[in-house]
Amino acid sequence: MSERWARAALTAYRYAGAVAYPLIGPYVAWRASRGKEDRVRRRERYGVAGRARPEGPIIWIHAASVGETIAVVPLVESILDYGVNVVLTTGTVTSAKVADERLGSRIIHQYVPLDLKPAVSRFLDHWRPELAIIAESEIWPMTILELGARNVPQVLVNGRLSDRSFRSWKKRASVAEALFENLAHVVAQSDVDGERFRVLGARPVTVSGNLKVDTNPPPADERALATLQRQIGARPTWAAISTHDGEEVVAAEVHATLHRRHHGLLTIVVPRHPDRADALAAQISGMGLTVARRSKGERISPDTDILLGDTIGEMGLYLRLTEIAFVGRSLTSEGGQNPLEPAMLDTAVLAGRNVQNFREAYQRLLDRGGAKLVRDRDMLAGAVNFLLTNEAARHEMMAAGAATVDEMRGALARTLKSLEPYIQPLVVKARLKGANGR
């Protein structure tokens, strides 16, 4: 590895917020204490393999969290259909669970190694991937440099750069170029993202659209859905999903404003981080509202005001209970959350104005009438009230959202086309290996 690469790695660590060497032990312990680390498999975070390497070529695919994991599932399935082994790494217990539920034993799941040379080298020495595919915005300097030193092609798929990340990298243009030029290909989500990667030195860059559009709608357990629907009956409902700090209280306040106008109104609140549920339940109950917690199996009774969706992996369940969804991290926080899942499930989408991380998706939904942005709590209450009152307008908005998602599909095919030069040699190699093994 050249001195230039080493300097780039150290500078990137300083500015990109990666974990410093002296903090690794406390960092892992902290993650474990928050339930985000699998204690049994902690050694994988240091690059120690959890199982033997299979024969034949391997593609390493990394998806940091739940959203990225769901987005790459169809891509992984397409690669598996070619007969090539896949090692899928994720960073959290929740994303590991999603990988197991949707891909099972067809892939090898490992927790991603910490971005330190010993851990990354140990991981690469064992798995010896012949192609690395990274999802969205996971830019880890040491991993990129180690793969580059081993001449392993690296492709960033579904690539995006938030406004903040782009500004940060632009201030360190030489560091960005030293890292991004090591990527064999960047497949960006949008024209804006593609241009940002080009400015930072990535070549070549193509635009695919958002892989999240080509996923299936989030599933729901049919028995659980039927039980909740029976408990809710004909009551009007709306949901506040993927909420961040402050937005749950806003949803509760909207409920308090509207429940007299809409008899029996049930508000479904699904926090982005369910580990906040105890505090949220106490806070909302302190407002004089009755809360039923999904995680505790509490029944929705006629006097229940708020169903607190404090579980993981049940977004499909909650969205099927309503036709109106406010998508969080957009009113009291910045960046927004993915509006495509509610749109897929014929849901009218509301959000605050801070949706920069999903700018293109929201713009498409807004243009077609499938979403509406609100300024504050009062405007949100007005929008929910309007949609509850006007069935025709609500159904028109729901249909527009579903149509928008259909129009946006095609990212998977475009991504596979960009990956073809890197995957096809491995397909041939896998087939030859299979033929020679028979």
Q: How many whole angstroms separate alpha carbon 391 and alpha carbon 381? A: 16
Phi, psi of 357 (to 5 degrees): -70, -15
Taking the C-alpha atoms of residue 278 and residue 296, their distance in angstroms, rounded to an integer, is: 11
The single residue of 37, 44, 68, 248 carrying the catalytic annotation is 68
Contact (Cβ atoms closer than 8 angstroms) between residue 267 and residue 238: yes
Question: d(Cα 127, Cα 135) in Å, to the nearest integer?
Answer: 19
Q: How far is CA 32 from the centre of its chain?
A: 21
44 is catalytic: no
How far apart are alpha carbons 284 and 200 in whole angstroms? 45
**Which phi-psi region, left, alpha or beta, contains residue 410 (left: φ > 0; alpha: ψ -120 to 50)?**
left
Which token pair is 277?
Answer: 């549920």
Three-state SS for the chain is CCHHHHHHHHHHHHHHCCCCHHHHHHHHHHHHHCCCCCHHHHHHHHCCCCCCCCCCCEEEEECCCHHHHHHHHHHHHHHHHCCCEEEEEECCHHHHHHHHHHHHHHCEEEECCCCCHHHHHHHHHHHCCCEEEEECCCCCHHHHHHHHHCCCCEEEEEECCCHHHHHHHHHCHHHHHHHHCCCCEEEECCHHHHHHHHHCCCCCEEECCCHHHHCCCCCCCHHHHHHHHHHHCCCCEEEEEEECCCHHHHHHHHHHHHCCCCCCCEEEEEECCHHHHHHHHHHHHCCCCCEEEHHHCCCCCCCCCEEECCCCCCHHHHHCCCCEEEECCCCCCCCCCCCHHHHHCCCEEEECCCCHHHHHHHHHHHHHCCEEECCCHHHHHHHHHHHHHCHHHHHHHHHHHHHHHHHHCCHHHHHHHHHHHHHHHHHHHHHHHHHHHC
- CA neighbours closer than 13 Å in the CB half-sphere of residue 210: 25
**Which residues are marked as active site?**
68
